[in-house]
């Protein structure tokens, strides 16, 4: 066994020491070996030696020899290299594509229009580099959008003649001036939906305002009809062939009364249009909020904006008087000054209807309780639940701001004592005592009665809505508009100012924040100022998307404005 192991180890050593011998054997058997090549001189010997060496290398790197040394082939290695190259190219393509997408995203962000977005009740707006101003919104936030609900120019109208429409509709525009304005816009839209002829709406006498104003006493009828001539057929009066005109006001056979609030366009086509085709002329009432917003075609909402912002013009004498009031507000000091318009909703009727609790003596609160019991007996009941209701409504920000609360809020925002303020308001509940805190902090408060002479206003006193129209126009053209409670007036003003380009500030107070802050006895002035300023940075009429179920009167951007 020892001899066997010795012989095998010797064999292995001989095998390991034999490459040169194997080479010699290979060279000897090669056709390029010296034995097979004729020699002539020493140079030929060198050349033959060089050739012999090359022949040995070639035989060493032959495919069979390499395969005996390495178990894998160079063909497999080439395939692996090709596969890796494909992966590298694919990765590079992905990186290149990601770079393109990133650059495109950055470019889109830079070119994206300025638009605030809502997250619940919080409004998030893009940052701007401009220093905040008390009197106008940042310029960079107001250049992305432009009005686009104006009359189409150069388009041939396919509107049928008056006698070829589906029939006539007649509406009563109820409520105050601003509720009537909305009803008129909706009436034009409904006529367009049903391809009907619209009889000039009647402004119904309001039970609160006790006003007998007619359409032509407030609005420019000729401009109204002419501006909408390519959209809807409008006539000034009930057609002559319909003899019993009073029937439209009294007869149930000529009235459509089952229209739900915020009805979709399809409801009118399915339920109202057949009756108009049958009777040829029908009255729609009641007509307050009888057309929806997100359930009608976009072109119908755009038509409503066309009526509101372009077709409905006040009479020239109202426009001129309003321009005079604006000019006097801007020139109350030695030099031209900006001014604020404050819509103060604190009339007795508003205070009573809110069912909120306000600062006052026991006698005042007792009288208010009797007033509420008389006007709203079903809601008042026995009055035992009203205190809890009042606290809940105030916490939720559903109570009108008192004049004193408005004064504190404006001062926290940074408006100085010298600020010129135009007050659009009815008779404030509580009179001068209630107004005292506001007047003490901002003594430059004026109303239209103080800006204009009695003789100038006498021509407008015949119609209460004419005076309301003056307030509307002054607030519309003010540098800053501040509302204190909801309602159609503030809603229409804010929407109109947005439609004009978002540059004009329209402040909508966060009444929930005001209630919480003013009710906290431990909150210092500095903390209160910070809360007010931060919260109201985005509540100034900046561009934001019109949300579903969010009426277009306060925010007309989505249906009625285009990217600039």
126-156: per-residue pLDDT in tens?
988 888 899 999 988 888 999 999 998 777 7
Residue 16 has pLDDT above 50, yes or no: no
Alpha-helix residue ranges (DSSP H) falling in 147-297: 177-194, 215-218, 221-227, 247-250, 265-267, 273-279
Range from 204-208, 441-445, 546-550 that averages highest in pLDDT: 441-445
- Cβ atoms of 446 and 474 within 8 Å: the answer is no
pLDDT of the residue at 236: 94
Residues 316-332 have a mean pLDDT of 96
What number of other Cβ atoms are within 10 A of residue 56's Cβ? 17
Mean pLDDT of 430-459: 95
The top-scoring range by mean pLDDT among 207-211, 418-422, 465-469 is 418-422
Q: Which residues pair with 446 in a beta bridge?
A: 422
pLDDT score of 130: 84
Query: Average pLDDT for residues 200-213, to the nearest whole number?
Result: 70
User: CA 449 to CA 460: how far, in whole Å?
Assistant: 12
Q: What pLDDT is recorded for position 92?
A: 82
CA–CA distance, 131 with 475 (Å, rounded to integer): 25
Percentage, residues of the chain above pLDDT 70: 82
Q: What domains appear along the chain, each with residue ranges and CATH number? A: 124-143+315-346+400-485+503-540 (no CATH), 162-311 (3.40.50), 348-393 (no CATH)
Task: Give the span between the Cα atoms of 273 and 192, in whole angstroms.
Answer: 11
CA-to-CA distance for 472 and 467, rounded, in angstroms? 9
What is the DSSP secondary structure assignment for residue 307, as one 8-state letter?
I
Band of pLDDT at residue 445, cut at 50, 70 and 90: very high
Looking from the CA of 339 toward its CB, the CA atoms found within 13 Å total: 26
The sign one gets for the Cα dihedral 197, 199, 205, 208 is positive
78-92, 175-189, 276-290, 442-456: least confidently modelled range:
78-92
pLDDT at residue 54 in the model: 45
Alpha-carbon distances of 197 from 181, 232, 276, rounded to whole Å: 19, 7, 10
Nearest to 307 by CA among 497, 465, 150: 150
Mean pLDDT of the chain: 83
**Radius of gyration over alpha carbons of the chain, in Å?**
43
How many secondary structure helices (H) and strands (E) does the chain include? Answer: 26, 15
- Residue 235's DSSP bridge partners are 199
Q: What is the pLDDT of residue 523?
A: 94
pLDDT of 321 higher than 90: yes
Question: pTM of the predicted model, to two decimals?
Answer: 0.79
Q: Residue 36: pLDDT above 50?
A: no
Q: Which of the four pLDDT bands, split at 50, 70 and 90, describes residue 18?
A: very low
Chain centroid to Cα 563, Å, comes to 12
The string of pLDDT tens digits covering residues 66-116 is: 444 444 444 556 666 676 777 888 788 888 788 777 665 555 454 578 899
pLDDT of residue 78: 62
């Amino acid at each position: 066994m020892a001899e066997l192991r010795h012989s095998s180890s010797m064999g292995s050593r001989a095998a390991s020491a034999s490459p040169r011998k194997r080479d010699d054997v290979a060279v000897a058997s090669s056709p390029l070996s010296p034995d097979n090549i004729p020699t002539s001189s020493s140079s030929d010997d060198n050349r033959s030696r060089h050739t012999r060496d090359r022949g040995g290398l070639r035989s060493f790197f032959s495919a069979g020899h390499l395969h005996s040394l390495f178990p894998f082939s160079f063909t497999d290695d080439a395939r692996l290299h090709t596969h890796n190259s494909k992966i590298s190219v694919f990765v590079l393509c992905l990186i290149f594509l990601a770079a393109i997408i990133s650059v495109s995203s950055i470019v889109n962000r830079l070119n994206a229009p300025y638009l605030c977005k809502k997250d619940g009740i919080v409004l998030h707006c893009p940052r701007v580099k401009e220093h905040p101003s008390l009197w106008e919104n940042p310029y960079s936030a107001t250049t992305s959008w432009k009005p686009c609900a104006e009359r189409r120019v150069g388009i041939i109208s396919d509107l049928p003649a008056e006698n070829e429409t589906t029939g006539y509709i007649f509406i009563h525009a109820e409520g105050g001036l601003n509720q009537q304005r909305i009803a008129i816009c909706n009436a034009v839209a409904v006529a367009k939906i049903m391809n009907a002829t619209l009889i000039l709406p009647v402004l119904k006498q309001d039970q609160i305002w006790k006003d007998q104003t007619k359409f032509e006493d407030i609005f420019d009828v000729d401009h109204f009809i002419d501006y909408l001539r390519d959209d809807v057929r409008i006539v000034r009066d009930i057609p002559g062939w319909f003899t019993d005109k009073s029937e439209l006001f009294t007869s149930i056979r000529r009235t459509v009364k089952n229209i739900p609030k915020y009805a979709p366009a399809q409801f009118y086509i399915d339920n109202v249009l057949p009756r108009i085709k049958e009777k040829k002329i029908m009255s729609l009432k009641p007509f307050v909020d009888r057309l929806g917003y997100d359930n009608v075609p976009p072109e119908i909402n755009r038509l409503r904006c066309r009526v509101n912002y372009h077709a409905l013009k006040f009479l020239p004498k109202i426009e001129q008087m309003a321009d005079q009031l604006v000019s006097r507000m801007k020139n109350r000091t030695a030099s031209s000054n900006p001014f604020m318009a404050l819509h103060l909703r604190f009339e007795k009727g508003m205070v009573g209807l809110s069912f909120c609790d306000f600062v006052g003596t026991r006698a005042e609160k007792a009288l208010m309780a009797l007033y509420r019991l008389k006007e709203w007996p079903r809601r008042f009941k026995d009055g035992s639940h009203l205190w809890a209701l009042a606290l809940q409504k105030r916490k939720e920000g559903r109570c009108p701001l008192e004049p004193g609360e408005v004064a504190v809020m404006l001062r926290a925002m940074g408006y100085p004592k010298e600020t010129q303020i135009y007050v659009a308001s009815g008779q404030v509940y509580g009179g001068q005592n209630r107004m005292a805190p506001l007047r003490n902090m901002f003594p430059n408060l004026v109303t239209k009665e103080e800006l204009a002479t009695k003789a100038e206003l006498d021509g407008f006193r015949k119609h209460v809505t004419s005076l309301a129209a003056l307030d509307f126009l002054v607030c519309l053209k003010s540098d800053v508009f501040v509302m204190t409670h909801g309602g159609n007036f503030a809603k229409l003003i804010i929407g109109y100012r947005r439609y004009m380009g978002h540059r004009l500030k329209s402040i909508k107070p966060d009444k929930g924040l005001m209630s919480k802050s003013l009710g906290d006895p431990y909150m210092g002035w500095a903390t209160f100022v910070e809360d007010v300023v931060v919260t109201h940075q985005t509540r100034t009429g900046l561009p934001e998307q019109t949300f579903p179920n969010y009426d277009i009167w306060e925010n007309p951007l989505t249906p009625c404005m285009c990217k600039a």
